[in-house]
């Protein structure tokens, strides 16, 4: 593109808080045909809240105290929500030892002499926990679009925690605008399939890639590229950085982590999903001017 077109495009973006890091970013924006969006923190606000807490074969407050002790050691956004919930319910605070974080799965620790695990189905299976006693509750909660987290105490299924993370107000309009521009939209998430599908349906997204481990997100981008797609990846998390780097165009949510912002080619300062179609439109305008 001509230096003038680049300057105009960069300026137009800056006005809306869409920061193109360089001329290549602007030119690539014009050629994107597939947009992959991370769910948590990108399509949703990334501020989960506990909506349901179900104990199985153990007192609710006892279980909540055990779980909160584990989650206090974790930096995961879901962990913060569980801790806030425990504080609001006024349960006693216990100490955790031998804490272990399992990326994309959950966490575990020893509390009050008991081994407590908090995380998804994959974690429970890996640890040999029989989840049959809580499977039905898990499915019911997940089918409503809430994230269902499982709890085990000393190797036994002990409860289900449901967390809701509201979609950003402009997530659905952003998906509609991308579809109108003829762009394919894909949701990519570590969350479980049922939860992801439900939220995708609410937002008008028909392609969902769920239960993806943090280290596998960039491989999913590569798969689409090998199928001939020109891919933009939109994300906010540390988990998303390799995928942002792998994509033809990496777009970071401004409210996201530093690593995501540093890795991306474009930063959306207002953290507004509607600025994704805006960025692509500005790119197209810029390239048109150069011809």
Nearest to residue 151, comparing CAs of 142, 143, 161, 141?
A: 161
236's contact among ligand ADP, Mg ion, none, with CB below 5 to 8 A by partner kind, is Mg ion
197's contact among Mg ion, ligand ADP, none, with CB below 5 to 8 A by partner kind, is none
Comparing every residue's Cβ against ligand ADP, the nearest one is 190
Looking at residues 188 to 207 of the shown chain, list those that interact with ligand ADP (rule: CB under 6 A). Answer: 189-191
CB-CB contact of 256 with 263 (8 Å): no
- Which residue number, 6 or 151, has a Cβ lying nearer to ligand ADP? 151
In 165-260 the beta strands, taken as DSSP E runs, fall at 184-188, 207-209, 231-235, 249-253
- Which residue number, 23 or 255, has a Cβ lying nearer to Mg ion? 255
Looking at residues 179 to 238 of the shown chain, list those that interact with Mg ion (rule: CB under 5 A). Answer: 236-237
Question: Interface with ligand ADP includes 40 (CB under 6 A)?
Answer: yes
Nearest to residue 185, comparing CAs of 273, 266, 246?
A: 273
Question: Interface with ligand ADP includes 78 (CB under 6 A)?
Answer: yes
Handedness of CA 279, 281, 284, 288 (dihedral sign): negative
Q: Note the helical H segments in 16-107.
A: 23-29, 60-71, 77-88
Report the C-alpha gap between 93 and 105 in whole angstroms: 24
The residue count for binding ligand ADP (CB under 6 A) is 22
Question: Interface with ligand ADP includes 42 (CB under 6 A)?
Answer: no
Residue among 38, 165, 248, 272 flagged as catalytic? 38
Question: Interface with ligand ADP includes 243 (CB under 6 A)?
Answer: no
Estimate to the nearest angstrom the gap between the alpha carbon of 235 and the chain centroid. Answer: 8
Using CB under 6 A, pick the residue from 13, 108, 119, 242 that binds ligand ADP.
Answer: 119
Active site residue 38: yes
In this chain, which stretch among 20-28, 31-39, 219-227, 276-284 interacts with Mg ion, using CB under 5 A? 31-39
Nearest to residue 164, comparing CAs of 202, 108, 208?
A: 202
Q: Which pair of structure tokens corresponds to residue 246?
A: 């792998």
- Which residue number, 5 or 82, has a Cβ lying nearer to ligand ADP? 82
Report the C-alpha gap between 68 and 72 in whole angstroms: 6
Comparing every residue's Cβ against Mg ion, the nearest one is 41
- Which residue number, 71 or 191, has a Cβ lying nearer to Mg ion? 191
Report the C-alpha gap between 28 and 164 in whole angstroms: 35
Question: Which residues of the shown chain bind ligand ADP in the complex (CB under 6 A)?
Answer: 39-40, 71, 74, 76, 78-79, 104-107, 118-120, 147, 149, 189-191, 214, 237, 239
Which residues have a catalytic role annotated?
38
Binding site for Mg ion (CB under 5 A): 38, 40-41, 236-237
């Amino acid at each position: 593109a001509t230096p003038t077109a680049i300057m105009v495009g960069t300026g137009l973006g800056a006005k809306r808080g869409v920061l193109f890091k360089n001329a290549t970013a602007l030119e690539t924006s014009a050629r994107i045909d597939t947009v992959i969006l991370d769910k948590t923190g990108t399509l949703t606000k990334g501020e989960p809240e506990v909506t349901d807490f179900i104990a199985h074969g153990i007192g609710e407050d006892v279980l909540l105290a055990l779980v909160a002790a584990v989650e206090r050691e974790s930096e995961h956004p879901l962990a913060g929500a569980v801790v806030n919930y425990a504080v609001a319910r006024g349960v006693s605070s216990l100490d955790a030892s031998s804490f272990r974080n399992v990326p994309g799965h959950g966490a575990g620790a020893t509390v009050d002499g008991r081994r407590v695990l908090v995380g998804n189905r994959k974690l429970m299976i890996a640890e040999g926990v029989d989840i049959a006693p809580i499977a039905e509750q898990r499915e019911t909660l997940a089918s409503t679009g809430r994230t269902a987290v499982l709890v085990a105490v000393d190797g036994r299924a002990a409860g289900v925690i449901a967390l809701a993370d509201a979609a950003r107000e402009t997530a659905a309009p952003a998906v509609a605008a991308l579809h109108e521009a003829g762009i394919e939209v894909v949701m990519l998430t570590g969350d479980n399939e049922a939860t992801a599908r439900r939220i995708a349906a609410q937002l008008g997204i028909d392609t969902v890639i769920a239960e993806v481990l943090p280290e596998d997100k960039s491989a999913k981008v590569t798969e689409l590229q090998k199928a001939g797609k020109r891919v933009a990846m939109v994300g906010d998390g540390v988990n998303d950085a390799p995928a942002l780097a792998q994509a033809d165009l990496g777009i970071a949510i401004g409210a996201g982590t530093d690593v995501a912002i540093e890795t991306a080619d474009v930063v959306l300062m207002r953290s507004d999903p509607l600025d994704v179609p805006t960025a692509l439109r500005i790119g197209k305008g810029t390239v048109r001017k150069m011809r």
